[in-house]
Chain A
């Protein structure tokens, strides 16, 4: 089945540690996105990528980094510089401008 796979579903970060969230898609969509979701705040864009080897900062990129070496993969690293990383992280893909985004099932990141 075509879809978006986010892993792990739950992740715990220790103080000063970098962690990487995985997002893989087999929909053959060009664009991929990372959102952060906090209660009552909706979805906030962290990074997005329209093509391989290119990505742009979203509204809340500080403390995060991404790479886009393959069309299928768009991993997100939450660095130690992100002081409040506890949130639900959603990966999405998009094919063309008049089509909806498709979402993965999310990764919940917590602080140990």
Chain B
């Protein structure tokens, strides 16, 4: 069965520092992977997606993620964060032909001045 684990519930970081938000998944079949961002009292906005091809995926707002099949990971990175990046980040996975998305419990990124 699918599952998604976001290892950190909260990540504090200073402005302009790099950040990595970790995501691991379990699945026995091929998957598609996504990262979403959620600002307070709003819906989820897609940051980036991995469908196939290059394992390094670039998204909006300067974020990127790397798909590692052997480690079943899809960690999100940004080389230099801004105050405006403070938000909740969700990793999600869907199996090849399925309709059921599985979400991690989220990581709150707190960027401090």
Contact = CB atoms under 8 A, between A and B. Distances in A.
Interface of A: 4, 6, 31, 33, 40-43, 45, 48, 50, 88, 90, 92, 94, 97-98, 100-106, 108
Given A42-B104, A42-B106, A98 B32 contact: yes
A108 B40 CA distance: 11
B105 A90 contact: no
Interface in B12-43: 32, 34, 36, 41-43
B96 A97 contact: yes
A40 B43 CA distance: 16
Interface residues of B, number: 25
A2 B19 CA distance: 33
Contacts of B106: 40, 42
Contact of B49 (A43, A48, A88, A100): A100
B45 A103 contact: yes
Given A42-B105, A106-B41, A94 B46 contact: no
Contacts, number: 56
- Which secondary structure characterizes the binding site on chain A? strand
B54 interface: no
B44 A50 contact: no
Contact of B42 (A33, A45, A106): A106
Contact of B90 (A6, A42, A50, A97): A42
B46 A97 contact: no
Nearest to B32: A98
A108 B43 CA distance: 11
